[in-house]
Amino acid sequence: MRVLAQLTGQLAVVEYPSLRRTTLRHLELVALGPTRLLMVIITDTGRVEQRTVSLSGHGPNGLVDPAVLERLRLRLNTALVGHRAAEVVPVLAALAEQAPADERTVLAAVTDELVAALRPDAEERIVVAGTANLARSLDFTAIGTLLDAVEEQVVLLRLFTSEDAAHRDDVDDTGTTVRIGSETHEDALAEASVVSAAYGPGDAVAHLGVIGPTRMDYPATMAAVRAVARYLSRFLTGAGSSMPN
């Protein structure tokens, strides 16, 4: 991410691959105590999500039995690996109907946390680099408003979400999106331009881009955004050797 900020001299924005748009690669269950366990979700994009699961409120026998936990872990991985978020709920429902009595308490607790992690409105994550590049620019009359929007990240998430809503007229034949000023439909970005692209294995699962003044060098910026997006896509499919920061 810092590489993109350095290449363009702008603010770089990278959205982490969303759990709900990725495929489950592995699910790990680790006992933390008599009534608590750690669930680790690993996706095909390499994202790792950790959730603490409490067995309290899931039946009178809410205790972690290592043998039961291991059987359930194997059963869950056999059933869920390779499935996307939208396919997980019916698979879990089928498992619940077939589960032995001694697995049902743990399965119910794990199901609640897993569904919560993969729900459509689950929290997305965005990281930024190069904020100082915006602060140093003399092209903005309301830089404070723009920096506030970057810090809150809600505006940035809306920008990327809008790219998924439908085919956009501002997406060129290389998959790069360019929005200038009012084209962002965000008051905080009225004096800025956004150049972004999707990345990920197969169907794109996340976005990255830069935010800068409307007088930016568009050809060079678009080339840099495309190059980093392609690199990350190759990395996530196992063709890359390291991920730029």
Q: SS in 3 state form for 97-145?
A: HHCCHHHHHHHHHHHHHHHHHHCCCCCCCEEEECHHHHHHCCCCCCHHH
Average pLDDT, the chain: 84
Task: Tell me the per-residue pLDDT of 139-157, one tens digit each, with 9 for 90 and over.
Answer: 898 899 999 988 888 888 8
Quote the pTM value. 0.68
Average pLDDT over residues 107-121: 84
Tokens 């956004």 found at: 194
Query: What contacts 219, CB < 8 A, 6 or more positions away?
Result: none
**What per-residue confidence (pLDDT) applies to 155?**
86
Determine the pLDDT at residue 220: 95
SS3 content of the chain, % helix, strand, coil (to 5): 45, 25, 30
User: Could you report the per-residue pLDDT of 204-244, keeping only the tens digit for each?
Assistant: 578 999 999 999 999 999 999 999 999 988 887 764 444 44
Which residues does residue 36 pair with via DSSP β-bridges, in sequence order? 54
Q: How far is it between the farthest Cα atoms of the chain?
A: 67
Mean pLDDT of 168-180: 70
- pLDDT tens digits, residue range 70-106? 999 999 999 999 998 778 889 999 999 999 988 888 9
Which residue, chain included where needed, has tokens 């269950």? 29
Query: Could you count the other beta carbons within 10 Å of the beta carbon of residue 220?
Result: 12
Domains of the chain: 2-18+124-236 (3.30.450.40), 20-118 (3.30.390.10)
Cα 202 to Cα 132, 231, 233: the distances in Å are 34, 14, 8
